[in-house]
Amino acid sequence: MISFEVNDMTCGHCVSAITKAVKQTDRGAVVAVDLGSKRVQIDSKVADEAELKAAIEEAGYTPVKAAAAAEASGQSGGSCCGSCH
């Protein structure tokens, strides 16, 4: 499972565009999008992380690997703001 945070995903149209871009890269991919958390999870047997990221970027969005996004914001694991222990 590959997870991205896509902070510039703001509406249903964005969800559709990202899903379509991923499916063009791998028709059989399972795509789960949570608009509220701006998270896209992809299970692909064909495409790797770089290919999927490139597809989302070509659709006009800015995907960041979910673990990298949490580290960049100072968050770890399930912590919401880095202050919780």
pLDDT number for residue 82: 44
pLDDT number for residue 80: 43
Q: Does residue 3 carry a pLDDT above 50?
A: yes
pLDDT tens digits for 9-44?
999 999 999 999 999 999 999 999 999 999 999 999
Classify domain 2-72 at the CATH class level.
alpha beta
Backbone angles phi, psi at 51, to 5 degrees: -65, -40
In Å, how far are 27, 51, 57, 67 from 23, measured between CA atoms? 5, 12, 14, 23
DSSP symbols for 17-82:
HHHHHHHHH-TT-EEEEETTTTEEEEE-SS--HHHHHHHHHHTT--EEEHHHHHHHTT--TT-SSS
